[in-house]
Amino acid sequence: MAIAVIMDFTEGTLEDYDKVVQRLGLAPGGPGAPGGLFHWVSGTDNGARIVDVWRTREQADSFYQNKLGPVTAELGIAQPEISYFDVHNFQTAGPED
């Protein structure tokens, strides 16, 4: 079952996010991590919010523990508040007009 994850980095910035993306070898607008279905990020009044949809909770947890966690720790970025949601439905990109 697909899982949605919301991560609120209350002490993080979009600049921190950009550094993490670069360290992970990902590119804005490019393909995401294996198992990831959808990803977006936005600045908030007190940090940054990341929303991901994954094929499975196991794939999300593996990426966060083995890839994201070590990079954020290395950069000194505080751990986010994380919320998980079972996804009832999701849709992929529609056709371009």
What pTM did the predictor assign?
Answer: 0.90
C-alpha to C-alpha distance for 21 and 71, rounded to whole angstroms: 9
Given this model, what pLDDT does residue 3 score? 97
Q: What does pLDDT average to in each consecutive run of 10 residues of the chain (97 residues)?
A: 95 94 93 94 96 97 96 94 96 87
Given this model, what pLDDT does residue 67 score? 96
Residue-wise pLDDT for 58-77, tens only, equals 999 999 999 999 999 999 99
C-alpha to C-alpha distance for 71 and 84, rounded to whole angstroms: 21
Indicate the length of the chain as a whole number.
97
Given this model, what pLDDT does residue 11 score? 85
How many CA atoms does the CB half-sphere of 97 hold within 13 Å? 0
Residues β-bridged to residue 38: 53
Instruction: Count other C-beta atoms under 10 Å from residue 42's C-beta.
Output: 10
